[in-house]
Amino acid sequence: MQQISNATKSKSMMNELQELNEQLKKFEKKGIDRRRFFKILAAAGVITTMNTSNAHAFSSKAKGKIVIVGGGAAGISMAARLKRWLDEPNITLIDPSDRQYYQPGFTLIASGVYQPDDVWKKQEDCMPSGINWVKDSVIAVDPIWNQVTTAQNGKIAYDYLVLVPGIQMNWNQIEGFDYSKLGTGNAHCIYDFKGAQMTWKAMREFTEKGGKGVYTDTYTKHKCGGAPKKICLLTDDYARKHEHRDHIQLNYFTAEKDLYDVKYFTKRLKEIYKERNVPITLNTRVKGIDLERKQVHFEKIETVGDEKKVTSFIEDYDFLHFTPPMSAPDFVKEAELGFPDGKLADGGWVMVDKETLVHQKYPNIIALGDVAGTPTSKTSAATRVQVPIAAKNLIALMEGKEPTEKYNGYAACPIVTDYGHVLLCEFDYKKEPQISFPFSLLDMSKEQWAAWLLKVYILKPLYFYGMLKGLA
């Protein structure tokens, strides 16, 4: 077990301030001075949500051993919140990682906007002080005996469990593929740190040489559903800016029945694809990839009357960006913490109440982030909104009270449409737009430059200096 000292945290804070200063300098080079930058932050609600006094406004004398499984966005943010809000916190966080990645930045690595080192920090520098960090992997959860089993440290008991291990990418569920083959046959994926770097190199070479580009999503629930759409449109824009668009062909294949499932934003997104001459094929999933022949094996699945019709076909490619099927981690599925039936059953997503984020069978378990079985998109923005709700509901349970905080399904997906514009999709469980101020003053059914500023310059500092600190 490791405890992060105050001296280490002070050194980390100095490094953070230095990096923030460097970020501001980059912002100024784009023609926006620091005063205007902070006005944008204030207008977007970032400064107020990062106000330390607000973070300390809530406190509780509740006691109990809390074990957090997972040290990503949800895990560290929950640890930071609970550490601030409990008078006598007893928190153990289990995670094996050496690095904390800002995963929404992978798209910007793959398009040359960020450098690889821009999106990660040492995990020890992100870990809240005063908690027990077990640098290990969880391999089993026993909700009956209230304990988890780790790979190296045996069994660890808990009174309350925060289950936030993230998502599992099932590369080998694509015939002819496994993770070791990423990049082989010019088949790429930006959901992976290494994959994003390879994509940037391959995308430039592809646009210069010409040929056919194929872009796909997947048939399972997956994190950041906008990612494959973004890299497709960024490839198009990169090619146009370098006068290579005439000799490349781009094709987008989605397993869904429409390009996007929030109508308010779908119309404009489809218009953009049409304007860019990128054909869209619906109801189509990847079955396998022939890396040697550079061919994708697809299945188009349609319902005709009461029958399901499956049509197999093959597409040749010169450049491929694909999305692997995703699910809850195997140890979560094996613990039978998921839904027994329904749309969320197949992936093993944790069976939580969609509003309180409390497990429907085991009330001393809270789950949020990508692993949670909630009918909304799996995004960093969704996690940021879920964290304070889940933390307060957990504390209510520890106090012997009913959890009353409710999550409305808010999620945000900033779909980058070109180098300089983003279609910022914000919505709730009802798939109704939930536009944040000051963007509510703009027509957010269309791509906006202001949303590009948010994506490129604001969200990453907000993640590292606000969300992971329990301040945003």
Contact 284, 298 (CB under 8 A): yes
Which tokens in the block code for residue 375? 């009918």
Give the integer Cα–Cα distance in Å for 284 and 387: 35
Contact 235, 213 (CB under 8 A): yes
Active site annotation includes 224 = yes
Radius of gyration of the chain (CA): 22
Contact 373, 386 (CB under 8 A): no
Give the integer Cα–Cα distance in Å for 113 and 284: 31
Which tokens in the block code for residue 96? 């094996």
> Which residues face 335 on adjacent strands?
none
Return the closest-CA partner of residue 350 out of 159, 143, 151.
143
Query: Which DSSP category does 413 fall into?
Result: E
- 126, 189, 232, 413: the catalytic one is 413
Return the closest-CA partner of residue 175 out of 268, 22, 288.
288
- 126, 189, 224, 232: the catalytic one is 224
Q: From residue 263, how far is each of 217, 233, 283, 429 by CA, in Å?
A: 19, 19, 17, 13
Give the integer Cα–Cα distance in Å for 380 and 146: 28
Sign of the torsion angle spanned by Cα atoms 435, 441, 447, 451: negative
Give the integer Cα–Cα distance in Å for 337 and 48: 37
Cβ-Cβ contacts under 8 Å for 238 (sequence gap 6 or more): 111, 112, 203, 204, 207, 419
Our CA angle for 445, 433, 471, nearest 5°, is 110
In the chain, % helix, strand, coil (3-state, to 5) comes to 40, 25, 40
Q: From residue 367, how far is each of 244, 247, 455 by CA, in Å?
A: 46, 48, 27
Active site annotation includes 413 = yes
The residue count for the chain: 472
Cβ-Cβ contacts under 8 Å for 406 (sequence gap 6 or more): 355, 356, 389
Residues identified as active-site: 224, 413
